[in-house]
Amino acid sequence: MIKNTLLIVLLLFLTISCKETPNKIEGKRIDIDENITSNNAIEDFIAPYKTQLNKNLDSVISYAPETYSKTDGELNTAIGNLMADAVFSESNPIFNKRTGKNIDLVLLNHGGIRSIISQGNITSRTAYEVMPFENSVVVAAIKGKQVSEMISFLAKAKRAHPVSKQLEILLDDDFNIKKALIKGKPVSEDKMYYIATNDYLYNGGDRMSFFHPSDSLYVLDYKIRNVLIDYFKKTDTIKPKIDNRFTKLPSKP
């Protein structure tokens, strides 16, 4: 309770402009523990803001007929597919309007999914729980050779990193690449591809170094969390599925 109060006070402080800039700011460290009591004046001041914030976060914007978890599949999951496809559907119109080009595929990271989507009503708070980080969408222009490196990385990782449905990867039972298609076509080594991802991965997060060098980087100024909120608002009932975008042949008997 105390931590939430201090956070809201900080947010209010940052959003309320000051008439005068102080010449000197002094501070001291205050340990936050169970011995600190609430300040009623502060609690009363932030109460209406807190109420409005919670109202916005808890407004129903979609519905989930099932519970979706990032542990539901081996190489692709319903929740991961939803996130990657949402980034494509919400970001591509923005990218196309600015550049006249289209995103070829989306790649996110398995570890970036921080919560399940529970069966029942979906709210804005759901998006904050699934994606609590400040990661934003960027589009990297990279050659087909690097895209092939990306696909090799995904095969070796043996993890359900979310990819959009424009990419199809089939592995054999030893995790070797048997088929890799982008929009139904094999990767062309010299072609330029536009890959949407988040800024964390573009900068080498999760050991994804294949984005560099990139021919161009397009920063959409669009947080993944806001992508999800926009997607949910447009979708009365979500219906994500595990499909054939990233799969492996059954092990030999």
C-beta pairs of 99-103 under 8 Å, 24+ apart in sequence: 99/218, 101/194, 102/194, 103/139, 103/194, 103/195, 103/196
- Please give the DSSP secondary-structure letter assigned to residue 112: G
- Six-digit token string for 71: 């542990």
pLDDT of residue 223: 98
> Quick one: tokens of 142?
């990279």
Give the global pTM: 0.81
Look at residues 131, 130, 102 and name the one whose alpha carbon lies nearest to residue 118: 130
| 100-104: Cβ within 8 A, 24+ apart | 101/194, 102/194, 103/139, 103/194, 103/195, 103/196, 104/166, 104/182, 104/183, 104/193, 104/194, 104/195
Which residues of the chain, if any, have pLDDT below 70? Answer: 1-25, 30-33, 36, 38-39, 41-55, 253
Q: Which of 190, 192, 142, 185 is nearest to 167 (CA)?
A: 185
AA letter at 111: G
Contact 84, 198 (CB under 8 A): no
What does the DSSP 8-state code read for residue 252? P
CA terminus-to-terminus distance, the chain: 56
Q: How far is CA 74 from the centre of its chain?
A: 19
pLDDT the model gives residue 84: 98
Task: Please report, for the chain, the start and end positions of each structural domain, with discontinuous segments joined by +.
Answer: 62-242
Helix axes 40-57, 2-15, angle to 10 degrees: 80
Contact 49, 12 (CB under 8 A): yes
CA-to-CA distance for 68 and 79, rounded, in angstroms? 6
- In one letter, which amino acid is 198? N
Distance CA 158, CA 4 (A): 38
pLDDT of amino acid 41: 67
CA distance 63 to 60: 8
The three-class DSSP label of residue 48 is helix
Tally the residues of the chain. 253
pLDDT digits over 60-117, tens only? 999 999 999 999 999 999 999 999 999 999 999 999 999 999 999 999 999 999 999 9
What is residue 251's predicted lDDT score, i.e. its pLDDT? 80
Q: Identify whether the C-beta of residue 240 lies closer than 8 Å to the C-beta of residue 79.
A: yes
Domain 62-242: assigned CATH number: 3.90.780.10
